[in-house]
Amino acid sequence: MKAFVDKTGCISCGLCISICPAVFTFDSDRKAQADPCDVPEGSIKSAISARKACPASVIDIEY
């Protein structure tokens, strides 16, 4: 499972990072980014929660 962020629509609110810091971080432009590796087993539920909570709906999770 991998997470992706469409940075063009990211509003930099940081909600995804606060929900799932193991997967999401800010890049140098303060846009959210997802770790390019697979989502760690213990972070799957929080990554899905971050996707659902994103106010800009720019997070996608590929199973």
Q: Nearest CA to 5 among 58, 42, 62?
A: 58
CA–CA separation, 2 vs 23, rounded Å?
9
User: Over the stretch 33-42, which tens digit does the pLDDT of each residue have?
Assistant: 999 999 999 9
Burial of 28 by CB count in 10 Å (0-12 exposed, 13-18 middle, 19+ buried)?
exposed
C-beta neighbour count of 59 within 10 angstroms = 25
User: What pTM was estimated for this model as a whole?
Assistant: 0.95
Report domain extents, the chain. Answer: 2-62
pLDDT of residue 47: 98
Is 2-62 assigned to CATH 3.40.50.300?
no
